[in-house]
Amino acid sequence: MATKPASRISTHRTTAAKSSAFSVHENPYELAPWTSACTTSVDCTFHQLAPYIGRIKTTIARYLIDEYTSPGDLVMDPFCGSGVIPLEAALSGRRVIASDTNPYGVLLTRAKLLGPGQEEEAIDRLHSSWRGALRRRSKQDLRQVPQWVRRFFHPETLRHALALRDELVSHEDWFLLACLLGILHHQRPGFLSYPSSHLVPYLRNRLFPEEQFPEMYQERDVLSRMEAKIRRAFRRPPPRRARSSVALCDSRKARVPKGLKAIIASPPYMNELDYVRDNRLRLWFLERRLPEERDIPKSNPEGLFRDLMTSTLARLAAAVVPEGAIILIVGDASRGGRAIDTAQVVTSVFQKSPVLNAFSLVRVINDLIPDVRRSRRDLSGTKSETILVFRRQSLRRLQVDQKKIASAARISLMENS
Ligand SMILES: C[S@@+](CC[C@H](N)C(=O)[O-])C[C@H]1O[C@@H](n2cnc3c(N)ncnc32)[C@H](O)[C@@H]1O
């Protein structure tokens, strides 16, 4: 276990104790105990339904779920993104509540948690939706589709894909919609677009000019590609999934459940990633427009991040059971060349909020993000992640503290009378 310099988080027990009950355990720092090897060949293949920027490693999610919760426990992720934490929790028998403001993230999470149990059921649903899509095909008016979207597709492929999209939306078939968005753009033959990147959408027509690669610019058959996608998704399907609910909502307004064992989440890191811009083609397809709102405006990202964390956690923390945990995976961030210590910002939120005072910082785990997992083409953006584990005091400790508060209140009443 490696020790990190104490200066990174300056909330030492002594300083914190003066103003609040919040405490930091002696030397909570360590390096990641999970494997850094890629686990896509063993993970449940629902994780690979479609890409999402800022997605966390399945190994981190599995480790934290195993370490801090037990089967049957209730786990919440109010910034669920593509649903890595919710799916891992559901696979290991935890009940799950998930939410996010990004409709594409919510779609993926719903698809993973609430999708069909059997491959053949998904294929049957596809064939029935395809019949409906063919009826809708002639009604697709491509002049209504923005030019930047049309640039990615052969017109006939686009017409079929949009017709299928409309049919699936009308049935609320989130799983098949997620599969459709999963094959929307890439340079491989199994996908629907002209040659382009898979994650953040960029056309690769300079790398693959039409004159040299005419086959990459021909119409693509949507139905056979969807079938192949479904078969790939069911290579390692979830053997079981526990009860779960997924909502499209702001974390500050998320439903407060009873008896939470853990909140495990990776919140947005001060606008380091733009979840709308970087997912724009899939989002447009899903909504037939782009949401106007950005995750966190550019001005004062640190203050807005602090407010987001305070108002989200102060509401939800009350639902966390004694000895339950709030576990946050945060990335490094920088503004105008100045590094912002996101972990420090989160820790100070816990120190300052009276509700969050009932938690102690028990572990700080540092993990490097390998270049292959970073989304920007120039590999800018978040390079390392810090996992902060805050634990709620035990019932006994809470009772002792409440007695102390009550007796302090009695003394002050007597003094004042
Ligand atoms: C780092 S990503 C989460 C990634 C996720 N853990 C995964 O593995 O895919 C942060 C998420 O926070 C969401 N988000 C940003 N502001 C939000 C808010 N106010 N309420 C809820 N979700 C928000 C973004 O849409 C994004 O999906």
Would you state the pLDDT for residue 214?
97
Report percent pLDDT > 70 for the chain.
83
Q: Is residue 6's pLDDT more than 50?
A: no
Atom 13, ligand 1: which residue's CA is nearest? Answer: 79
Q: Inter-axis angle of helices 103-114 and 280-287, to 10 degrees?
A: 80
Q: Which atom of ligand 1 is nearest to the CA of 265?
A: 6
Q: Is residue 3's pLDDT more than 50?
A: no
How far is Cα 353 from Cα 311, in angstroms, rounded to an integer? 10
How far is C-alpha 139 from the geometric centre of its chain's CA atoms? 35
Ligand 1 in contact with 381 (CB < 6 A)? no
Please name the residues in contact with 242: beta carbons below 8 A apart, sequence gap of 6 or more: 89, 90, 93, 94, 95, 96
Least confident of 87-96, 168-177, 237-246: 237-246
Would you state the pLDDT for residue 2?
39
Residue type, 340: I
pTM of the model: 0.87
Higher pLDDT, 410 or 334: 334
For tokens 């969050």, name the residue: 356
Where along the chain do its domains lie?
Answer: 6-103+243-406, 119-233
Distance 389 CA to ligand 1 centre (A): 19
- Arithmetic mean of pLDDT, 105-122: 96
Ligand 1 in contact with 54 (CB < 6 A)? yes
- Arithmetic mean of pLDDT, 69-89: 97
- Arithmetic mean of pLDDT, 104-117: 96
Would you state the pLDDT for residue 5?
37
Per-residue confidence band for 252, with pLDDT thresholds at 50, 70 and 90? very high
Report percent pLDDT > 90 for the chain.
67
- Beta-carbon neighbour count of residue 171 at 10 Å? 13
Would you state the pLDDT for residue 403?
61
How far is Cα 86 from Cα 92, in angstroms, rounded to an integer? 10
| DSSP secondary structure letter of residue 206 | T
Per-residue confidence band for 382, with pLDDT thresholds at 50, 70 and 90? low
How far is C-alpha 410 from the geometric centre of its chain's CA atoms? 47
Ligand 1 in contact with 385 (CB < 6 A)? no
Would you state the pLDDT for residue 356?
94
Q: Is residue 381's pLDDT more than 70?
A: no
Distance 335 CA to ligand 1 centre (A): 20
How far is Cα 318 from Cα 304, in angstroms, rounded to an integer? 22
Ligand 1 in contact with 104 (CB < 6 A)? no
Would you state the pLDDT for residue 415?
56
- Arithmetic mean of pLDDT, 57-71: 96
Per-residue confidence band for 15, with pLDDT thresholds at 50, 70 and 90? very low
Higher pLDDT, 127 or 5: 127
Q: Which atom of ligand 1 is nearest to the CA of 54?
A: 1
Ligand 1 pocket test, pick from 102, 283, 293 with the greatest ligand atom count within 8 Å of Cβ, gives 102
pLDDT tens digits along 159-193: 999 999 999 999 999 999 999 999 999 999 999 99
For tokens 């083609």, name the residue: 281
Q: Which atom of ligand 1 is nearest to the CA of 331?
A: 1
- DSSP structure string for 7-35: GGS---HHHHHHH-S-EE-SS-EEE--S-
Residue 104 half-sphere exposure toward CB, CA atoms < 13 A: 29
Q: Domain 6-103+243-406 belongs to what topology?
A: Rossmann fold (3.40.50)
Tell me what the pLDDT averaged over the chain comes to: 86
Q: Is residue 339's pLDDT more than 90?
A: no
Would you state the pLDDT for residue 10?
39
Would you state the pLDDT for residue 33?
81
Q: Is residue 397's pLDDT more than 70?
A: no
Higher pLDDT, 153 or 299: 153
How far is Cα 99 from Cα 204, in angstroms, rounded to an integer? 34
Ligand 1 in contact with 295 (CB < 6 A)? yes
Higher pLDDT, 337 or 375: 337
CA dihedral angle for residue 361, residue 362, residue 364, residue 365, rounded to 10 degrees: -150
Backbone torsion region of residue 270, taken as left when φ is above 0, otherwise alpha when ψ lies between -120 and 50, otherwise beta = left
3-state helix, strand, coil in the chain (%, to 5): 45, 15, 40
Would you state the pLDDT for residue 231?
98
Per-residue confidence band for 370, with pLDDT thresholds at 50, 70 and 90? low
